[in-house]
């Protein structure tokens, strides 16, 4: 595993999550959100070790896994805002992301 690539992934996840918290405080999102701040290494390391056919089942703190898996942060942000341009057409919100072989399930 390339340590620099892992660090970049962790940094990308952290910056995304910090932006989410800033925008959440401003009222950009309806409902709630659960960040994965402090868990960036988990997402980066686990996803880097997967094979292309592996399936990822994650929880309500799924943003990091999605980004580490190669998901577009802009599409995730749009999803969290309920926009049709989101990963799941704006229906999944922050916790219910389904993309390629990644499936997350919120606690509701």
The pTM score is 0.94
Two structure tokens written together for 108: 């509701």
| Angstrom distance (rounded) from CA 81 to CA 77 | 6
Domain boundaries, given as residue ranges, for the chain: 3-104
Cβ contacts of 30 within 8 Å, gap of 6 or more = 82
Report whether 102 contacts 69 (CB < 8 A).
yes
Phi-psi label, residue 100: left if phi above 0, alpha if psi -120 to 50, beta otherwise: left
Question: Going residue by residue through the chain (108 aa), what tens digit of pLDDT does each one get?
Answer: 799 999 999 999 999 999 999 999 999 987 889 999 999 999 999 999 999 999 999 999 999 999 999 999 999 999 999 999 999 999 999 999 999 999 999 876
């Amino acid at each position: 595993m390339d340590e620099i690539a892992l660090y970049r992934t962790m940094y990308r996840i952290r910056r995304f999550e910090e932006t989410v918290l800033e925008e959440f405080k401003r009222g950009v999102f309806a409902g709630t959100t659960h960040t994965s701040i402090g868990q960036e290494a988990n997402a980066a390391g686990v996803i880097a070790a997967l094979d292309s056919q592996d399936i990822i089942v994650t929880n309500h703190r799924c943003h990091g896994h999605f980004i580490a898996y190669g998901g577009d942060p802009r599409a995730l942000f749009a999803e969290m805002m309920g926009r049709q341009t989101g990963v799941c057409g704006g229906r999944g919100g922050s916790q219910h992301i389904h993309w390629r072989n990644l499936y997350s399930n919120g606690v509701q």
